[in-house]
Structure 1
């Protein structure tokens, strides 16, 4: 749901000595562009996004809302039935993907104008106050999004948050990458590897069933690098549910570590994703629309598992007063 009453958004540009450029806006703490070189040294934008913040659906833009580069919250991904029970109290949430809740609700964090509290050419920090009851969530939440571009062009994204009442939090940077540098190209020729042997099975609504599926030898097995398109259109039930890949890969809880690598053979560009989170959502852009065609971008979203507030056997997403939520993802751009 676009918010046409927002003030004008700011754009911040980060620059690394190796030439990598990252552009962001405080509308939704959103990544707008990432410019990196190919093997011949030619720079191009490898992130799906718009040149002007006013073009984003959250600001009233005409394209379908695909959360391009946005910070999603309070809880990214899906919550079944748009509700959860916490300490014996049931909290109904915004059912923006009726009957379920997606990426924080109809007025989620990517619709909000974050406050820039610090910025230079290598770093920007933004804050957001989410009041008690926002989209149905208990507790007032103060969130911080911190983006830092290192000397070698690695982008670190750190989210922190504190609450006044027990609540659930799962903040995600929802970037769609196309390492060819041309969004007219499909990402099906991109090779991906993911350090995971299991995914969460999903149902027809893209909600986890609770089953942890071993994926060795299946179309979901990316322990060895494979083209995204090599098995995406098979008859496997899980592929049919999502129209391709839209699945949470289960990661070992081993602190900050590399968990995925994306490679575009034609340009040589690479992206290595490191995180401290327990899951990685592989989304092949199956339902992109408007200016960007389906499968013109791929997401590798480091996160907690979907529907965790309703799944006590999943990694915990509860945040209590006095504690600090923290999630970190690092994106290392290169050529290989």
Structure 2
């Protein structure tokens, strides 16, 4: 199925979708304090609310989506983001819940990257590799809230300045993260970054979705997923891409037709599933960053009817099926998080790109602006 065919099918399906609740009014943004860091600094929290029963709370630690509340087909509102109810959990065992991940999202092989004629090292924190920026990536720092807006599109913008040499990466990088919620039930996350010297940048969001709602015993393996990609990037046993693209045809990675995650997530006859204990791979949506957005994924939880379409300008989608939750984390509502309790969909450039000459470049030069814009188009099916 090509992308045009997929989009046609989705538009047909959209006719059966009921948007959430009543005519639009202006949105609201309210700032509070979520807690305090060990050094006493306040952690801001901003809650965005629209008139259709949707609200999103963003905290300044990691510029993270801490909560997203939306109704089901009966109008029952539930938080669909797993994480913690208080700051203490995010400090003690962060797990990237809802976080902005960077300066380079995903993995760098052995924590070493060849770039601009030099070799740089970044801390190893995921087996033999570096993950999501190293031991103190963007998820573990306190961002500054620079702007909060009310109106038809309520929003909050946060800023973090990563100094030259931070986690081994060259250049001072100034990054802005903007979360916005409109009356069409679109949650938009946009990242922009500039640098004072050549560097590498690949920023994404690591929200964990359980559309059944926090505390639901159903978990996320019953979610129905569509990914309009003909290819994915296989990995070695440490989750580093081999450098080639493989067809999804006839494999457990074929989500070109809506498929329940749980149907094939534990099919270890495919060694790729054994490597990642499930899905933790990059799907090839395109070959470069685009000026316009395109469909990355469509996800529906069939019991509640809650769902979203994810659109972005990025060429890659990292789909992670929550494979490493092992019952050692207690989160919201006192729930113990188990394997498959939530999923992550990260629009981004490809993993280990600085060491993969055939992958799209993640280089950023002075005078350029890095941009990753992702839109979650929330809906409820009858």
User: Aligning the two structures, in what range does the TM-score lie when normalised by the shorter sequence?
Assistant: over 0.9
Asked whether 1:27 is paired with 2:61, we answer: yes
1:42 to 69, 73, 76: 76
Asked whether 1:101 is paired with 2:138, we answer: no
* CA-to-aligned-CA distance 1:286-325 (integer Å, 9 cap, x gap): 0024122111000111011000011121011000011111
Asked whether 1:256 is paired with 2:293, we answer: yes
* CA-to-aligned-CA distance 1:148-202 (integer Å, 9 cap, x gap): 1111121111100011111100001000100101344321111100010111001
- Structure 1 gap segments, 5+ residues each: none
Q: How many angstroms does 1:55 deviate by?
A: 2.1
Asked whether 1:150 is paired with 2:182, we answer: yes
> Equivalences for 1:50-199 in 2 at 5 Å?
50-56=84-90, 59=91, 61=92, 63=93, 65-121=94-150, 122-183=154-215, 184-199=217-232
Question: 2 CA distance for matches of 1:91 and 1:5?
Answer: 31
Q: Is the 8 A contact 1:176 1:299 kept in 2?
A: yes
> Equivalences for 1:284-295 in 2 at 5 Å?
284-289=321-326, 290-291=329-330, 292-295=337-340
Q: Is the 8 A contact 2:79 2:213 kept in 1?
A: yes
Asked whether 1:245 is paired with 2:285, we answer: no
Q: How many angstroms does 1:233 deviate by?
A: 1.2
* CA-to-aligned-CA distance 1:209-261 (integer Å, 9 cap, x gap): 11211011211100000100001111211100000000100012553012210
Instruction: Give the aligned length.
Output: 329
> Equivalences for 1:218-233 in 2 at 5 Å?
218-233=251-266
Question: 2 CA distance for matches of 1:182 and 1:96?
Answer: 28
| Matched residue SS, 2:354 | helix
Q: How many angstroms does 1:98 deviate by?
A: 4.4
Q: Is the 8 A contact 2:221 2:260 kept in 1?
A: yes
2:360 to 282, 303, 315: 315
Asked whether 1:14 is paired with 2:82, we answer: no
- Structure 2 gap segments, 5+ residues each: 1-36, 331-336
| Matched residue SS, 1:199 | strand
Q: How many angstroms does 1:53 deviate by?
A: 2.4
Q: Is the 8 A contact 2:296 2:347 kept in 1?
A: no
> Equivalences for 1:205-224 in 2 at 5 Å?
205-224=238-257
Question: 2 CA distance for matches of 1:282 and 1:156?
Answer: 19
TM-score relative to the length of structure 1? 0.95
Q: Is the 8 A contact 1:6 1:113 kept in 2?
A: no
Moved more, 305-314 or 85-94: 85-94
1:274 to 299, 307, 311: 311
Question: 2 CA distance for matches of 1:182 and 1:94?
Answer: 33
Moved more, 79-88 or 313-322: 79-88
Question: 1 CA distance for matches of 2:146 and 2:78?
Answer: 29
Question: 1 CA distance for matches of 2:134 and 2:147?
Answer: 28
- Structural RMSD (CA): 1.3
